[in-house]
Amino acid sequence: MNWLWLVSYFFGGVFAANAIPHFVAGTMGRAFQSPFAKPPGKGLSSSTVNVVWGFFNAVVGYVLVTRVGSFNPGATSHILAFGLGALLISLHAARHFGQFHGGNTPART
């Protein structure tokens, strides 16, 4: 087991999970925050930019998982590395984007 493979799978999970909100918002025709907005990560980018950015993230995630080492979905360490990357970026995104979309406030009953 090469530890660099696990680093690659971790970042593969990061990129794969980061692809989801951008690609989904873009395909729904909605503007969404992206690194290309003004200011970066806070302003809104067009739906087209988000589709391209989401697709790029998915491709990078795919390459990091399938072209580095020998990813085995049955190997616990491989899945944990990928899943941890996906979980951490998802939690970060939830907190960051929640500032702009009301996701950081408790639900009112």
Q: Could you read off the pLDDT of 80-106 as tens digits, one per residue?
A: 999 999 999 999 988 888 777 666 666
What was the pLDDT predicted at 108?
A: 58
52-84 pLDDT tens trace: 999 999 999 999 999 998 999 999 999 999 999
Task: Identify which of 46, 52, 48, 64 has the alpha carbon closest to the alpha carbon of residue 19.
Answer: 52
6-59 pLDDT tens trace: 999 999 999 999 999 999 999 999 998 888 988 887 889 999 999 999 999 999
CA 60 to chain centre: 10
Q: Do the beta carbons of residue 9 and residue 85 sit within 8 Å?
A: yes
First-to-last C-alpha distance (Å) of the chain: 50
Residue 62: both structure tokens together: 């795919």
Give pTM, 2 decimals.
0.86
Look at the alpha carbons of 28, 33, 34, 36 in this order and tell me if their dihedral is positive or negative.
Answer: positive
